[in-house]
Structure 1
């Protein structure tokens, strides 16, 4: 005989169980960090879905391609620092991009391994770019150039404060995990 899973209705409610909302809580519709996270998650999901559908690559691979389009010859470690991404994620992305012949690793000084786009990688960049730029369009729709510049300045300031706070708090990793550029 198998036993049925225990449901919330079956759980014992004791005098120590809180069954009503607390009085001092965060209003989720007015909590800016939550709104920024929801916006970021929605943009990344949209971008990743489109990149996978169209190119069989995801947002992480796009970020590596984009970084190398701006700074050819970066090592994987430099890509991590530039993008604020986890080394394991970048490593997997680099491997996928190598297998697709979109990037190559070269031999560099002191054992470094500079990364470069191939011609096919540069072409892929140009094909993927509009998907990423659509996220910019979604965010800035209805804003003038001055408002976009002001918004970007506010966001850069927020990132700088997060980096500074993380450094002061001794957060693990480097402040570059909170990239500004």
Structure 2
């Protein structure tokens, strides 16, 4: 006999709703894009939770700070392209980081706005770095140095193929109009 919950659920389902799993489906335990997304989501959630708890900043803020540590003077568009995030997300994060005194915007040639970390921003980078590096340690813990080299080479090749496919399908690079 169905439980009360099952009866209520069935009663709420429209007559034309598909209520049984389809037969031609992905194998969720072996569908690599799903597994990569789950891993990425878990790592980002862990990192973001810890960054917010300790510094009041999230993963996107960290990515901007980290990008400027690597590429001082980059514009918001260049940071967007470098980390593959929407320019609106970058702009929102930059406003917060400028307000917190972690990033400086300067007037550049032809209306550009180069960005730089402040000394406080550099200190914040150094304080946040170990949290991000912990994600790397989790991923690489059971891999040999050769495995790590192969994994990184494969991931770079997959990213390049994804960008090429995006250009073929959309006529622009990934992130260009996101």
Could you state the TM-score of these two structures normalised by the residue count of structure 1? 0.88
* Alignment partners' CA distance in 2, 1:109 and 1:17: 58
Q: Which runs of 5+ in 1 are unaligned?
A: 1-6
- Residues 123-138 of structure 1 aligned to structure 2 (within 5 Å): 123-138=123-138
In terms of fraction of residues, the more helix-rich structure is 2
Q: 1:76 touches 1:113 (CA, 8 Å); kept in 2?
A: yes
Q: Which residue of 1 aligns with 2:80?
A: 80
Spell out, residue by residue over 1:49-83, the C-alpha distance to the aligned partner (whole angstroms, 9 max, x if none). 01001111000010000000011001111111111
Q: Which residue of 1 aligns with 2:148?
A: 148
Determine helix, strand or coil for the equivalent of 1:24: coil
Determine helix, strand or coil for the equivalent of 1:175: coil
Report the alpha carbon displacement of residue 111 of structure 1 after superposing the two structures with TM. Answer: 1.3
* Alignment partners' CA distance in 2, 1:12 and 1:162: 39
* Alignment partners' CA distance in 1, 2:101 and 2:20: 57
- Residues 1-181 of structure 1 aligned to structure 2 (within 5 Å): 8-11=9-12, 14=15, 16-170=16-170, 174-177=172-175
Report the alpha carbon displacement of residue 13 of structure 1 after superposing the two structures with TM. Answer: 5.2
* Alignment partners' CA distance in 1, 2:61 and 2:20: 45
State the aligned residue count. Answer: 169
Instruction: Name whichever of 113-122 and 74-83 sits farther off.
Output: 74-83
* Alignment partners' CA distance in 1, 2:68 and 2:50: 21
The two structures, once aligned, show a CA RMSD in angstroms of 1.6
Q: 1:140 touches 1:148 (CA, 8 Å); kept in 2?
A: yes
Report the alpha carbon displacement of residue 12 of structure 1 after superposing the two structures with TM. Answer: 5.7
* Alignment partners' CA distance in 2, 1:35 and 1:18: 26
After superposition, the Cα gap between the structure-2 partners of 1:10 and 1:55, relative to the gap in structure 1 and judged at 3 Å, is: same
Report the alpha carbon displacement of residue 17 of structure 1 after superposing the two structures with TM. Answer: 3.9
Could you state the TM-score of these two structures normalised by the residue count of structure 2? 0.89
Report the alpha carbon displacement of residue 10 of structure 1 after superposing the two structures with TM. Answer: 2.1
Q: 1:65 touches 1:117 (CA, 8 Å); kept in 2?
A: yes
Q: Which runs of 5+ in 2 are unaligned?
A: 1-7
Q: 1:68 touches 1:115 (CA, 8 Å); kept in 2?
A: yes
